[in-house]
A = this chain, B = another copy of it.
């Protein structure tokens, strides 16, 4: 294929695979796409290990890294003297304790104890300085892209990437954000529709992509609602130079998805997701679950905290919920969930990541041929 993105990133097939799992990243890159590792799951040391693992397997083929640096987060995260776990209000801790009791997960260990161990480090990965540490590690590897998943890329990140000759991508949910991110130095815009998994806006991919393409002078990747070759063909028709997919990898053989969550995804329809603040503090699309329903709808819910506090609280609880769900605990299975887009309704089969890429190549070719045949005789009188 020939798009500006293919040339810019030296790929055959402009399919970008966002994943927290190094196996997926390497598999997609080796299949002719471009893997992007979500770094927020890792400490700088862990990230270094993951990227070295990838380097050993991709033989110089291109891949990238994604960090999360939201423009607005709770001010406590910027204060190195504050223990973030201590900032979480008792009312919110109590609600989690209540949920553990209600869903039969037994008397919880005191949340603060389990949280403190990793809360500060995790919470500060999403600050400009915390993400900077991840960026420094990433740039010591032969990465070909740094992406900012939320908010404009901070100036230091852009400067470091420029110095290393690495393009910067930014995810956006509105035309206004796209303009702002390009002004902040983004070389590629990922226009992500509301149907996407994870942090997402309200405008759909179909509506967002052509407007972003018209508004910015840099290549645009489409994200949200793309899990097969027909959807990739649609994204190209909208003016995108390639696609950015996240959800479709979650049910691949390589994915890190816990089996209890994967089986929920395989069974889910496209109506079984919800955009909620209850997991990170910012609106993020995820599987609908007892966790999302309790936080969003229960009378006694205290409402989500700002990022990163809600993220600490939720991830601390979710780690325990997931372990219990994996053991078959029925209450934990109700609470368990994960970020995923509306395409979850199409994910009905576990495949190797490489096969997902190859299927998408074949489906894209078929979709393009179909549209060509339909419109061949075009232009009515």
Contacts and interface: CB of A to CB of B under 8 A. Distances in A.
A191 to B, nearest CB: 11
Interface residues of A, number: 60
Interface string A184-218: 00000000011100000111111110110000000
B269 A208 contact: no
A377 B2 contact: yes
A204 B206 contact: yes
B365 A375 contact: yes
A225 B237 contact: no
A380 interface: yes
A162 to B, nearest CB: 28
B230 A204 contact: no
Contacts of A203: 195, 270-271, 342, 345
Contacts of A32: 380-381
- Most chain B CB within 10 A, of A174, A231, A381, is at A231
A271 B377 contact: no
A237 B226 contact: no
Interface in A209-239: 210-211, 224-226, 228, 230-231, 233-239
A26 B83 CA distance: 67
Contact of A368 (B13, B237, B346): B237
Contacts of A194: 194, 204
- Most chain B CB within 10 A, of A32, A230, A343, is at A230
Contact of A371 (B176, B208, B225, B371): B371
Given A203-B271, A237-B368, A346 B210 contact: yes
A347 to B, nearest CB: 11
A372 B370 CA distance: 11
A297 interface: no
A203 B343 CA distance: 9
Contacts of A204: 193-195, 204-206, 224-225, 342
Contact of A206 (B176, B231, B367): B231
Interface in A27-48: 32
A324 B81 CA distance: 57
A207 B345 contact: yes
Interface in A260-275: 269-271
Nearest to A225: B206
Contact of A207 (B176, B208, B342): B342
A79 interface: no
Nearest to A14: B374
A1 interface: yes
Interface string A286-329: 00000000000000000000000000000000000000000000
Nearest to A203: B270
A2 B3 CA distance: 28
A361 interface: yes
A71 to B, nearest CB: 17
Nearest to A361: B379
Given A379-B365, A380-B32, A374 B1 contact: yes
A12 interface: yes
A378 interface: yes
18 contacts: A1-B375, A2-B374, A12-B380, A32-B381, A175-B269, A195-B203, A203-B342, A204-B206, A206-B226, A207-B231, A207-B346, A208-B270, A210-B346, A230-B237, A230-B238, A233-B238, A237-B370, A368-B371
Interface of A: 1-3, 12-13, 32, 174-176, 193-195, 201-208, 210-211, 224-226, 228, 230-231, 233-239, 269-271, 341-343, 345-346, 361, 364-365, 367-368, 370-381
